[in-house]
Every structure is written in C-alpha cells, then in structure tokens.
Structure 1
Amino acid sequence: MPIGPRYRRVSALQRQFFDREAVLAAYEEALHALPSSGEPQVFNIVGIGGIGKSRLLQELRNRTGQGYRTARLDLQIPALRQQEDALAVLRTEFGAQGVKFDRFDIAYAVLWQRVHPQLRMDRTRTPFAEESDVLSKILDDAMGFPVFGTAAGLVRLTDRALSNRSRKQRIKSDPTLQDLDNLSNAELGYAVSYLLAEELREASTEQPFVLFVDAYEALVPTPLPGGKSFGADAWLRDLLGQLQGGLAVVASREPLHWAAYDEDWASVIRHVPVEGLPMTARLDLLSAAGITEGGRQRSIAEASAGVPFYLHLAIDTYLQNPARLETTITSEHIVQRFLQHVPPDEVRILELLSVARTFDFGAFRALGRAFNLPTHLLTWESLTAYSFAYPLSQGWYRLHQLMVAALQSHLSPAVKRSVHDRLRAYWDEVADRLERSPDGGGVSRSSPLREAVHHGLHAETITAEHIHEYADRGMAMGGRQVVDGIVKDLREYLAARPGADSSVREAADCLEAESLLSRGDARAVIDLAPEVDGRAGSAVSARLSLAAANARRIAGESGTAARIFQQVWEEQTGPVRLSAGFCLADIRMWQGDFAAAFDLAEAVYGMSGTDKPVLRGDVKRLLHLGHRFLLSFDAAETLLHEAEAEYRRAEDPYGLANIRTNRAELLVFTGPEAAVAEAGEALAVQRELGAQHEIGKAYTAMAMAQIRLGEFDRAASSFHGAYEALDRAGYRSGRARADMYRAFLLLRQGDRGEALATWRRAAAEFEVCDVYPSLILAIHRAVVRLGEDDPGLADAALRARNRLRPLGAPDALERRTDDVLSQFFGGTV
C-alpha cells in the first residue's frame, strides 16, 4: 500500500497485475460452468491478509465480460456487515444493470418500517422509492394518507398504483409477501434475502450474474473450532445458498468451513488458495516500479515473503528515499520511514487518530485542539490524501490496521486513555446534534453513540449505567441495530480483558437480554440469566432482572416473574422502579388481586410526570382493563377515554391501536353491534402493526359479539381467526380466554358435552398460567346454571375464590357475572 498522498502515488490496486494464472484459469472454468449448474456456486479465494485478494477480485471482475451482471460487497465497510445494508447495496448495483426488484422493494420497505416504526413512509425516506417504479407509484398514489410499512398495506395499494396486469398479479399472489406481516424481525430479514435471490435467479435466465464478496473475515473475524461462528455470517450463508444462476466469489483469510452447518456446502464451495507471489513475479513487480538494482531488488523480494502488501509498501518507501538499501521490510520499519518524511505535526496527529476506529474532520479538530496541534483544513486534506486513510460514508475515515498498530505503539497508555476520553466527548457532541436534527435517521444518526461507548470503555471512564443510557438513546434514534453493535463491542472488550469490571459484563448481558426479548426469544434470555433476581443492586442489574422476569412471564412462570418485579419495585428508584411497578400491577391484576393492583397502578401513575405520557396511558389502560374484568363497564369506559388522551398526546400509534382493541372488547358487553364494527377497525390497524396477540384479542371480541347477536357461523369463523393469531403469538392465557367464550358458542349450537370439556380446559389453563381467577369463577357459575355437578371445577373455583380480591363486595361481582352470563346463554338456560 503506498505511503504518500494519493495524487502523488499510484494505488496498489492500479499497479500492473502479476501472476495468479492458476486462479484466473479456475475462475474461467467456474464461469463457463454456470449455464449447466443448477445449484449455487461459491468460488472461495483464500489467502492471508495482504496477499492481494482485493486486487485479485478487481481483476476477476474486469475480466468477467459484458455477458454477465456483476456486483461487489465490501465487508470491510462496517455498515455492509449488516444484512439490511448489504442487501441494499446489491439491489442498487444489480438494479442499475436492469434487474427488476418489485417484490424485494416492497419487502425491504416492510423491514425498514419495522426497524424505524417512528417514521412514516414517503418518497424522501423510504429506501429505493426513487429507483423502484412500484414503490414510487404506490407512495405517489398514497399521498395525503398514512402509509404503514406492512406487506398487506403495500400490496393493497398496488391495485391502484400499477397498470401492468401481470406485474400487479405477480405481486398480489406472491406467497412470501402475503406471509411477511406474520414474521418476526429476524425471519423478515431472511424473507427479504429470499426475495432478492429469487428475483436475481429469474433475471439470470436472461443474463447470469457474479457477486464478489470481499474480506469475509471482517464479518467473522474469529471462527470457532470446527468452522462454526456465533452466527454473524448466517445472513450471508442464507443469501449465497439461494443464488442459483450465478457465481459468488468470496475472498477470505481462512477457507469457508460452511459444511460444519450443512454438509451440502462441501459440494457447492470451491476453495482456491492464493499463495505468495513467486520470486519471478516479485522481481517483475519491483522492476515495473523502478527498483532494478539487483541486490536491492533481491533483498526486498525476499523480505516480502511474496506478500504484495509489503511489496507495495517497500516500493513506496524506496521511492521516497532510493539512496538507502534496506535488507528487511517490516510494517514498523516502513512506518518509521514514512514518519521521517511527514511534517512532525502531522506525525503526532496521525498517532492520535490511530486510537480512533473511525474519525472525521470534527474528530481531527477536537484532538488537535486538545493536544495543541494544527487543526486547519490544509492539514486535514493532507492527512486524508494518504492511501492508508480509507474513506467511509458520511465523511468518515479509518486508518489501515497495520498502520494503526505501529502508530499506537508510539503512545503511552496514559496518552491513549486521554485520547479515548476526548473522542468520547466528541462523539457525544455529534450524537447530541444528530438527536436534535429532524433530518436523517437510522444507524447514521446513532453510530456516534456506539463510538462514544467504545471510547468510554477504553478510557475507563464509563459506567454500566452510562452504557445503558447510550443504548436507550440509540434505540430511540436508530433502532435495535446500534444496541446490538454496542453489545458486540462490549463482548470484544471483555474477551480481551478477562479481569474487567463485572458491571460491564452485566451491562452486556442486560442489553443482550433486552434485545433477545424484543425478538420474542424468552428461552435464550432465561439461558443468559438463569439465576438473576431482583435483589438490591445497580440500575443495570435491576434492568437485567426485569428482562429475565418478563422472559419468565412469557414462559408461563408468573409467580417467579411477580416476585422479581416486587423486589425491583421495593429496592430500586427512577425509571426502572416505575417499569417494575407497572409490570407488577399488571401481573397482580391478572392473578386476581385487583385491590393491590389498583393501588400500585395509581402509585405508579402518581410518580409518572407529564413527560411520560406513554407510561401514564399504559397505567390508565391497565385500570380500564381491571374495571372491565370486574364488569364495571361505566368506570372502564371513562378510563379508556383517559388512556386514549395520553396516547394521543404522545402520538403513540401502538397505544392508540390497543385502545381500539380494548374498545371493541368493552362494546361486546354494552353494544354488540358496535363491537363487531369496532373489532373490524381494530383488526385493520393491528394487522398494519403486525401485533399478533392484539389481532387474536380483536377476533375474540368480534366472536363474542357475534354470539350475542346470534350469528353463530360468523362467530365460529372469528374464533378460528383468533386461534391462529393467538397460537402464532404463543399467548396461552389469551387462547384460554377465547376457549372460555367459544364454549358458549358450542352450547348455543347444541354441543353441550364439548362446551363443558372446553370450559374445563380453559379453567385448567388459567390455573397453570396463574391468571384470571374471576374467569374461573365465571366458568364454574356457568356450569352450575346448566345443572352440572363437576367436582374438578368446584375445587378450582374454591381455589380461585380464595385468591380473588375484587373491589367492593364479592356478592356484587357475582351478580354482575350472572348478568353477563345471561347475555351469552341466550335461551339455553
């Protein structure tokens, strides 16, 4: 790699190409085999760092010819290691060469909206809105109306947006698009990959393609023994495994051992080693660069060990000072030679910048001011003109890693900590500025937060609580991706320092647990924190406790979750305590202790300032649900209006959508005709948001209202929809509640035996989940009214009565229960 400004030196990628005949021949063979190949084909170029893989990829692409479409994915760029960003690059490159990505563009828009739920879709924000005639027409047609990033919504708009009947039908009938809204975020990412691959496969019948993937080790730097990694490359394997009709050329330092995952990869991957240049090629390269003196040429060629990177460094060192003969070439020696020909001020600031993973003009100026070095634009342009300073997006740069190691060796530990501390402060300032900016979004806005955490760790000035503050801001600014990046940095930091502060490890565990929980992987959270509880500790340990408790609640361990919430509520302060209090009130209410739940909910509401409208709305909605389950419908309606007002003030689409579901559930008891219509509206909104448990609840409300109206066939269909959604969400108690009301339908249809069996199953499930004692009592009273003697249900009712603590007298609740049961029995009793 040349050491010097780019305008004075020829880049290694531009120098004459030497040797590699064996690799070129193998590539030609793989390329010619494409028309007859029905499987994905991976051409794996393998060689150590600096061996010239990137230069070789460039040469292969140049030789591919006009009969193929080509694209390049450079994993050395951090953003492209993320599935969504990498797919965007491939879509852009192949799209510019004539490939149509109608279905991928819609799916990618859905994924984008999932990652950025706070943003509405329009032509200025939605990815590929300008490049995709499908999306652009959809968004143009929808101007003035809110557009939610769901496949159902976008496909529905296709009817008006497209005139081409075949394209329209292809989109509407695509089974993958129809299933997107039911997928988790992780599954959605793989569905997007599938659609990209499928549309590439279809395009390959007209013109085959070649995908070049550089620097695989940037994605998986340290594979585990046996070939497996922690899954960082799962999306890439998934993508390449679907690319029939084309060739994937992957450059990596170690062979791809993907057969460890699936032995079929062994027949798909062709490993092609890239060895050091032979002596003749080394001498030819040096001769072409002007180094012709025999002894000097031979010494450099031997010292390089055939690695082109060192040869190019040696060439540039020689060109700067040809008078002195060097017999050994090492990275440190070449850096020292470079430093001799750079102004002292630039040397010093390069040493400081080597501490930064990435830097921009602002970081350069911040360090220059802190250490009294030049900060003017001329110095910046001189520094960034050197070829070892890699330009990134957004005006950022990074130094080549070999240069970084050598430059940092000149700094004392104290100076490095000071530089890290100043860089943390700088990235804090950048994050604050971007956070206030109404423009932009995503990772570009939140990346400075990740850099601030990295430098805070190495400066040894950041606490676990601070790490979580950064992560929370990152979630608000850019979504889960930046938090996962922070977790990755924490894990790497801890791996390099086994004796690091345990609070940092706890912070990493907590953030990872919250990330897993957001994806619904409760089992993984429990595995990560198998013994965590809510005993006194830091706010970070309390947050880990809350994540663990929520995982256990999802898994049906309500008692364990309630105990942990109780401990956090009693022993913590601040936002963590409020979150624990709300969760505890929620559990207590469903466990039947309405009195304690209401008192706790009111206390949480009183401690929540007006700056927390979402939490205040959640509390009001919880109180509404409590009154509804106590069958006090007037009070429930009042609280529902108050909750809605809070959500509107917060402009929270999720809270407002849940209000619609709750209103439908309330109208079941007070106005069944209106309940059916409201449930239909709730279903439309919840489908847009992809909330399966709320979809199941809305279907249940619709079915209950249809029973009251005597529309039994429609009720049966609604229950079917409810079961599908509730099972998909894994919502056990919600499914049991639907069962309870479906028993009334069975009874009205004349199937008394199945109705009784369904009631027994529902009551048993309520007990297993430790919820709804009031509904167990209602089931028992229904069976008694039928004249049935069921000892099992009687025992369950006794246990439920002992646990139930309603507001007011139990007799009053029993009378209200009898009135409601009469609504559903109709004339059967």
Structure 2
Amino acid sequence: MPIGPRYRRVSALQRQFFDRESVLAAYEAALDRLPAGPDPQVFNVVGIGGIGKSRLLQELRNRTGESYRTARLDLQVPALRQQEDALAVLRTEFGAQGVKFDRFDIAYAVLWQRVHPQLRMDRSSTPFAEQSDVLSKILDDAMGFPVFGTAAGLVRLTDRALSNRQRKQHIKSDPTLQDLDNLSNAELGYAVSYLLAEELREASGDRPFVLYVDAYEALVPTPLPGGKSFGADAWLRDLLGQLQGGLTVVASREPLQWAAYDEDWAAVIQHVPVEGLPMDARIDLLSAAGITEGGRQRSIAEASAGVPFYLHLAIDTYLQNPARLETTITSEHIVQRFLQHVPPDEVRILELLSVARTFDFGAFRALGRAFNLPAHLLTWESLTAYSFAYPLSQGWYRLHQLMVAALQSHLSPAVKRAVHDRLRAYWEEVADRLEGSPDRGGVSRSSPLREAVYHGLHAEAITAERIHEYADRGMAMGGRQVVDGIVKDLRDYLAARPGGEGSVREAADCLEAESLLSLGNARAVIELAPEVDRRAGTAVSARLSLAAANARRIAGESRTAARIFQQVWEEQSGSVRVSAGFCLADIRMWQGDFAEAFELAEAVYGMSRADKPVVRADVKRLLHLGHRFLLSFDAAADLLAEAEAEYRRAEDPFGLANIRTNRAELLVFTDPEAAVAEAAAALTVQRELGAQHEIGKAYTAMAMAQIRLGQPERASSSFLSAYAALDRAGYRSGRARADMYRAFLLLQQGDRSEALSTWRRAVAEFEACDVYPSLVMTIHRAAVRLGEEDGQLAGAALRARAGLRPLGTLDALEHRTDEILSLFLGAAA
C-alpha cells in the first residue's frame, strides 16, 4: 500500500456494516435482560486483530435506542489507560446525558489536587467545574481552597452552594466523602471509581446504561495463560464489577479470564466470538466500495480470510489508485495489526513458526533450539494463548492465514529453507515414534508423514522415491486420506513452479493414479496416464506404469496390461518388482493360465519378507481367488482365512474390506443365506472406502445368493445396483460376469431367449477383455444342459478350452462346473 496518512484507514468506521447477525442477536438479548439483578453484566466481544471489533462496537452503539445512556472508552488512546483519565471521559459522556455526579465531582476534585498540588482549586484548573453545578458553586465560594483538608472543606461548603435540601443532605451524609482525606492516593482512586459507579447505578433506574470498552488488549497486552496479568487492569475490573443496572461491552482479542481472580466473574461474563466475514458479506463490502470486477473481487475476498481489516486495506488502496490494486496488500500492515501487542522476543519465534502449516510444542522447541530463540514452556503458553493461534486436535496449532503470509515475508529464502528442513526432520521423528506405537492407525497418526513430505519439498531436500516411501507408510498407518493429502501438496507445489520438477510431477501422478485405482476409477487413471509404457528406469516411473496398466486391465485391455506387467517384472528390482509379479500373476489367472499364476504368486510370496504382511496377504487372497474360480471351495476358504489374518496383523482397512467381498462371493456357493448377510456387511465398509468396483462385486454376490434363495425380485434389484457401480468404475469384465449370473435369474423368470442373449454378450466381453475362459466354458455347458445348441457359444468354448491351464485336469474342472450349474439351473435344466 502506498505511503499515506493513517487517518485514511479510519474511514472503515464510516463504511457500510455487513453481517454479524449472530452477535447482534446476542446483544439484543443481553439488552432485553436489563436490569439483570444485583450482578454486573459483561458482554465480551472476542476476535483477532482486524476482525472488525471496533466497527462492531460502533454499530452496537448506533443500534442502541434512546432509552439507554451510552458511553465509549477506547483503550487504544494511551491516556485512557490511566484510571483518572478514563473516569473523566465516562463522567463527561454520561453527564451529558443527564446523570448527576455530585459526589463523584467532589471526590475527583480531591484526587485532582492530590495529583496536582501545585494548582489552585478554582474553575479554571479543576475538572468538571463548568459541567457540575454543585462543584462550580462550591469553588466560587471557596475562592482558592487550602491544600489540606480539601474533602471535608468541600463537603462543608455544600451548605451554601446548594439550595436543594435533599441533594445537600445526600452529599453531607455520604460516608465515602467523609473518608476521602484519610485515604492514600491509590485508595482515593478506587473511591472515585466507586462513587462514579454508585451514581451511575442510581441513575439507571429510569434509564439503563451501556458502556463500550474497546481494545482491552491495549491495557493488558500480554496476559498470562492462566488469565492473570500484572495488575494493569485492576482499576477497570474494579469499576466494571460495580456497574449493576447496565451492560458493559468489552472488545478484546482474547476472552476475558477474570475468573482467575474471582470465580464469580464466570457467571457474569458472556463471551461472544467474532468470526471472519462470510464470502457473501466480503463480496458485498467490496462491491459497495466500487471494486466490482469479478476476478479481482473474488481473489481479494478469498485472500482476506474474512478479516475486514484486510478488505479495508484493499479498498483504501483502490480509492487512492485503482491501477495499483493487487490481490495481496503489503504484508507490513497485516503484521502490525496482528502483532501490535505481542512482545518482540515472541515475534521472532512466530516468524519461524509461520513456515509450519501446523505445529506443536515439539516443533516449537525444535525451531527455538535450532535458531537460539526462547523455547521454554512459558513462551509456548504465551504464544498459544493468542487468538491468532488456532488449536487443532492432538495438541497441534496453526496460525491465522493472513498472519502466516505476512510473517513469512520477513524471512529470507535461505532461512525459510532452513526452517523447512528442520521441520522435515522433526516430523520424520514424530512419524517414526508414532509408527512404532501400539495405537491403531489413523489420519492423525500418519499426518506427520504428510508434513515431512511438505517441508521436504520446500526445503528442496526430498526425492520422488522418498515421497513414495512416506506415502506407503502413510497408507499403512492412516489410509488413503493421507496419501490424497500428499498428492494435493505435490500439486500445489508444482502449480507454483510451472514447467519444473519433473520427478515430483511423476511422483504426484503415480500416487494419484494408485489412489484412484483403490476407488476403482479406471477411467480417471487412464486420463491421468495415457502412456502406459514405462518411460524411465526409476522405481517411481515403474509404479506409474503399473498403475496405468492396472487401469487398462480393469477397462478390458488385458493384453496391454500383461505386457507392461511382464516388462516391469523382468527389469525392476525390490518392491516394484514384487508388485509387478503380483499383478502379472493376477492377470495370468484371469486369462486362464492358473498354473503360471500360482507359480508366480508363490515366487512373489517368497520374495516378501515377514514384515510386509499386506503383500503376503494380497498373495494369499489371490490364491484364494484362483481356487474359487477352479471351484475348490475348501482350499479357497483356508487361504481366505490366512489372508485375513495377515491383513489384521497389518491393520489394513482396504484388505479387510476386500476380504468381506470375497467371503460373500465364496459363500454364494456354500451358504447363500450367509452370503447375503456378508455382502451387506461388505457394502457398508466398501461404501465408506468409496471402492466402486468392490461395491459392484458385492452387489453381484448378493444377487447370486438371492437367486439360489428363490428371491427373484431382490436379485433383480441387486443386479441393477451392481451394474450402476460397475459402470461407474468402468469394470468391463466385472459387468460381464454380473451379466452371466443374471442370465440364471432370467431363466428362473422364464425368459430363456433373453438369458441366452445375455450369455452371448457376456462371452463376447470376456473374449474382448481376454479373461475368464473358465466362465466361458461354464456358460457353454449351461446352454448345453438347457438343450440349446449355440454356435457362438460353442466356438468360444473351444477357444477357451485351448487356452485354459487349470491346476488339475480339464475333465475334473468340468465335473465340478456341472455340480455348480445344478445349484443355479435347478428345474430349468
């Protein structure tokens, strides 16, 4: 913002008022409660610097009707932080509205002469002499009262000064006035406060009062975390504690913690938070000031984080020179506003903490020690007591958005990189510690890994391979949400550096593709990685190729997928080779080469260490699927139980969810009633994970079981739900398999022609996708049992038989197939 007078920004108080409906409603309710009984009432408006508390107090006063007396005490004015000056302002404002301060005026005159003994007590030098008819007449008669014995002498002079007998007696009999001469200066100050409060209370019987106290933190800039200060606000607490019959509105950055002095305060202070303006109100405020261009308006509104101070800075800049208005106003104004009352030794550590998105006591100590700044508990409690430090879960904090940007502008690029690197190391230590803890996994437990990646990126001290290592650990500890967060951080980092960081971009593509695959969203993966060939020899590029190939497998491009799996299996090493081997075994199985698939699976299992339970569980589950497709249900059940045990040891929610789907599919053949219940349970967990392909498979299993149970209407509904999920996932072979079993439902319903057409479509899809030759043979054998001679199905069965390599003989497999067909065909055969 250009150099200019500070007065220009005061114009914000004259601009249109927006929003704050909840605060206004609470204020109206507080007014309606007056008079509220023998206790004072404090309405504490709380919000960070710049949030609009002063403007809000002005609006509250403007909306308070003539039936209330009002006065404002602005503690931003240094003089008004002194008790005697503040009392003088209140006496003047309330006195102008008809309150008689006879006793206060006399007591204040005594205090004034105590503080200024060199001055004569006359109209020209005594406060309120002109406003107070009692004091003016007394001074006229006194003609320069002696220094000592002032209070007693002034009270005696009321006999001649006043004609109203009741007022005269009220003053002469007041015990406080009679004691003034015996009080110390400090005690005299509190006596003056008492008399002002008492006379204000007496006047509130016919007309209640409202006192507005702005910027409490100017009086007490650094309260201790427990709520107590060093006595700077003692006179204010004393005064407000006596103001019964009215309402005091106190605006402060932090909630008043006066209950630390006296727990009775807790019952009379109502804390009312002032939050950032909502987006609609920000837009309206900018529009009213003439900033109407949509893009500029939106960018300023978003950058403001709802803080009116920032919006007014933008407006002032625009009014001075519209051509110079930028989306970000100079940060120094923000710093000054937020840190106006923060001690200098705390500002420096806040500058370093601004580099952290979140921080805890450990991060605070790590930075303090690294940069030789205060890192003890007292400083930590002071920093986190400020309202611009927002508490999160797990004892973490974050700083206000605007403050972060402003503070970071004070740091050089080299210092910021050093801070990022220290924070990277710190969050790595936290992640290591949590990873070894006995607690169950979760996002909060794995979040330090995301923070380590974020700071490693900005410290320029992390490789793509290391990013993937953290993501894998995060998946194991907290699930896909952490990985998605890492992807977002990578995308944001790349967006700020267009055209650079190729390895980071590849890492982001790979992680996003793998996350999309876990949801079964093959189409999105294909769009993200249109090139399936491995483009480089790095582990990250190989993983991206595997993800892209898996998406093609789901989409029906099995040959292309198998070629990529084979290439990575032959050329890579380590965990990437293990993944490629598993994928290759998986696709070989669905292509009907069970012998090679089982051999590959056993090799992958042997390459997997005992500390990799998820990989070992995946292999066991794959072997279970092979036995299930070969209709060896007892062996399949045993392998499924072994896989489940490994997933439980790894606490892998995705593997355990898939186990439920697979169990439902297996129970279809052995216990259809239990299969329906298991499919329902699988749907519950798969919906939580968002895995569309697994949802489609679970609905298919439910429909198959319902066919066996003689529930055609329910089976028909389940098939429709299965189709919807499988189509969303782009899972062609899964949709064809659902079609295959739906044909059995059509036979139950007596529609043989449509059943045969459905089988033909399913076989055509199986062949196009190069999968499930055993199912192609099953469909042909079902048609033969129905007495249907279909050339298309017969030709497909011959081709399937030629490529099928089961573990045993084909005759044995066909015999088991006929037994299963009997379960579904029943009387239709």
- State the TM-score, normalizing by the size of structure 1: 0.57
Separation in 2, partners of 1:595, 1:404 = 64
**Separation in 1 of the partners of 2:685 and 2:49?**
51
Task: From the superposition, tell whether residues 17 and 782 of structure 1 become closer, same or farther in structure 2 (CA, over 3 Å).
Answer: same
Does the 8 A contact of 1:367 with 1:419 survive in 2? yes
Task: Say whether the 8 Å CA contact 1:664–1:676 is kept in structure 2.
Answer: no
Q: Contact (CA 8 Å) 1:513, 1:548: kept in 2 or not?
A: yes
Question: Does the 8 Å contact 2:614/2:652 carry over to 1?
Answer: yes
What RMSD in Å do the two structures reach over aligned CA positions? 5.0
Return the alpha-carbon distance in structure 1 between the equivalents of residues 621 and 551 of structure 2.
22
Q: Find the aligned partners of 2:508 and 2:535 in 1 and give their Cα distance.
A: 19
Partner of 1:448: 448
- 2:605 aligns to what? 605
Please tell me whether the aligned partners of residues 726 and 735 of structure 1 are also in contact (alpha carbons under 8 angstroms).
yes
What is the 5 A alignment of 1:526-675?
526-534=526-534, 537-650=537-650, 655=655, 658-659=658-659, 661-669=661-669, 671=670, 674-675=671-672
- 1:474-524 deviation digits (Å, cap 9, x = unpaired): 344444444344333333333444464421121122223333444444333
Which of 663, 672, 676 is the matching residue for 1:679? Answer: 676
Alignment of 1:181-330 (within 5 A): 214=277, 257=294
Report the Cα offset of residue 589 of structure 1. 0.9
Q: Which residue of 1 aligns with 2:718?
A: 721
When residues 211 and 747 of structure 1 are mapped into structure 2, their CA distance, relative to the original with a 3 A threshold, is farther
Aligned partners of 2:535 and 2:805: how far apart in 1?
Answer: 27
Q: Structure 2 CA distance, aligned partners of 1:582 and 1:816? A: 27
The more displaced of 371-380 and 464-473 is: 371-380
5+ unaligned residues in a row in structure 1: which ranges? Answer: 2-11, 33-49, 67-209, 217-239, 241-246, 262-270, 283-306, 321-337
Residues 822 and 474 of structure 1: is their aligned pair in 2 closer, same or farther, counting only changes over 3 Å?
closer
**Equivalent of 2:17, from 21, 24, 28?**
24
Which residue in the other structure is 1:142 paired with? none
- What is residue 762 of structure 1 aligned with on the other side? 762
| TM-fit CA distance, 1:573 | 2.7
Task: Give runs of aligned pairs for residues 96-245 of structure 1, distance below 5 A.
Answer: 214=277
Mapped pair 1:463 → 2:466 = no
Q: Is the 8 A contact 2:773 2:803 kept in 1?
A: yes
| Contact 1:582 1:619 (C-alpha < 8 Å) held by counterparts | yes
Cα contact 2:699–2:721 (8 A) shared by 1: no
Mapped contact 2:286–2:311 kept (Cα < 8 A): no
Matched residue type, 2:491: R
CA contact (8 A) 2:286 2:297 kept: no
In structure 1, distance between residues paired with 2:765 and 2:423: 55
Name the count of aligned residue pairs: 564
What is the distance in 2 between the residues matched to 1:485 and 1:719? 39
Q: What is the identity, as a one-letter code, of the residue corresponding to 2:680?
A: L
Match of 2:118 in 1: none
Change (3 A) 1:826 1:368: closer
Distance in 1 of aligned mates of 2:799 and 2:355:
65
Write the distance in 1 (CA, Å) between the matches of 2:62 and 2:597.
69
Match of 1:419 in 2: 419
Query: How many percent identity over aligned positions?
Result: 66
Any conservation in 1 of the 2:553–2:561 contact (CA below 8 Å)?
Answer: yes
Aligned mates of 2:425, 2:551 — CA distance in 1: 36
Deviations 1:698-739 (A, max 9, x none): 55456555656xx64x14532431332343233443332233
- Write out per-residue CA displacement over residues 347-388 of structure 1, whole angstroms, 9 at most, x where no aligned residue: 87666556545555433432343344554456657777899x
What SS does the corresponding residue of 2:808 show, helix, strand or coil?
A: coil
Aligned mates of 1:625, 1:440 — CA distance in 2: 29
Query: Which digits, 9 at most, give the CA deviation of each residue in 1:93-144, with x for residues without a partner?
Result: xxxxxxxxxxxxxxxxxxxxxxxxxxxxxxxxxxxxxxxxxxxxxxxxxxxx
Q: 1:583 to 1:649 in 2, by over 3 A?
A: same
Contact 1:454/1:489 (8 A) holds in 2: yes
1:772: Cα distance to partner? 0.9
Gap change, CA 1:249 and 1:689, over 3 Å in 2: same
Alignment match, 1:112: none
> What displacement does 1:612 show?
3.1
**Could you list the runs of 5+ residues in structure 2 that have no partner in the other structure?**
26-47, 65-272, 299-307, 321-328
1:815 deviation in Å? 3.4
- In 2, the alpha carbon distance for the partners of 1:350 and 1:705 equals 62
How far apart are 1:465 and its partner, in Å? 1.3
**Matched residues in 2 for 1:366 and 1:647: separation?**
37
Partner Cα distance (2:334, 2:643) in 1: 68
User: Against the structure 1 CA distance between its residues 718 and 404, is the aligned structure 2 distance closer, same or farther, given a 3 Å change threshold?
Assistant: same
1:509 aligns with 2:506: no
How far 1:806 moved relative to its partner? 1.9
- How far apart, in 1, do the equivalents of 2:664 and 2:381 lie? 64
What whole-Å deviation, never above 9, does each CA across 1:201-256 have from its counterpart, x for those lacking one? xxxxxxxxx9965486xxxxxxxxxxxxxxxxxxxxxxx9xxxxxx8988789869
Pair 1:492 & 2:485 matched = no
Asked whether the equivalents of residues 214 and 250 of structure 1 are also in contact (C-alpha less than 8 Å), the reply is no
**In structure 1, the residue corresponding to 2:410 is in which secondary structure?**
helix
CA 1:20 to 1:724, structure 2 compared with 1: closer, same or farther past 3 Å? same
- 1:407 correspondence with 2:407: no
One-letter code aligned to 2:16: V
2:590–2:771: 8 Å Cα contact kept in structure 1? yes
Shift of residue 805, structure 1, vs aligned partner: 2.0
CA distance in 2, matches of 1:58, 1:561: 64
1:525 maps to amino acid:
V
The aligned amino acid for 1:758 is T
| Secondary structure, aligned partner of 1:567 | helix
> Which string of whole-angstrom CA distances, capped at 9 and with x for unpartnered residues, describes residues 65-120 of structure 1?
99xxxxxxxxxxxxxxxxxxxxxxxxxxxxxxxxxxxxxxxxxxxxxxxxxxxxxx
User: CA separation in 1, counterparts of 2:338 and 2:706?
Assistant: 82
Q: Which moved more, 1:468-477 or 1:767-776?
A: 468-477
Deviations 1:515-562 (A, max 9, x none): 344444433322222114336522222222232223223333232222
Residue 805 (structure 2) aligns with: 805
Change in 2 beyond 3 A, CA 1:424/1:805: same
Aligned to 1:742: 742
C-alpha deviation, 1:260, in angstroms = 13
CA distance in structure 2 between the partners assigned to 1:574 and 1:735 by the alignment:
35
The alpha carbon displacement at 1:773 in A equals 1.1
Q: In terms of mean alpha carbon deviation, does 729-738 or 376-385 score higher? A: 376-385
Q: Tell me the distance in 2 between the aligned counterparts of 1:531 and 1:758.
A: 34
SS in 2 for 1:534: coil
Greater shift, 797-806 or 489-498, is seen at: 489-498
Corresponding position of 1:180: none
1: CA distance between counterparts of 2:10 and 2:296? 33
Alignment of structure 1 residues 332-481 onto 2, 5 Å: 342=344, 353=353, 355-377=355-377, 390-393=389-392, 394=395, 396=397, 398=399, 400-401=403-404, 403-409=406-412, 413=414, 415-436=415-436, 444-481=444-481
Question: What corresponds to 1:784 in structure 2?
Answer: 784
Query: What letter matches 1:396 in structure 2?
Result: Y
Q: Distance in 2 between matches of 1:646 and 1:773?
A: 30
Give 1:768 shift.
Answer: 2.8
By how many angstroms is 1:462 displaced? 1.0
Is contact 1:592–1:805 with CA below 8 Å preserved after alignment? Answer: yes
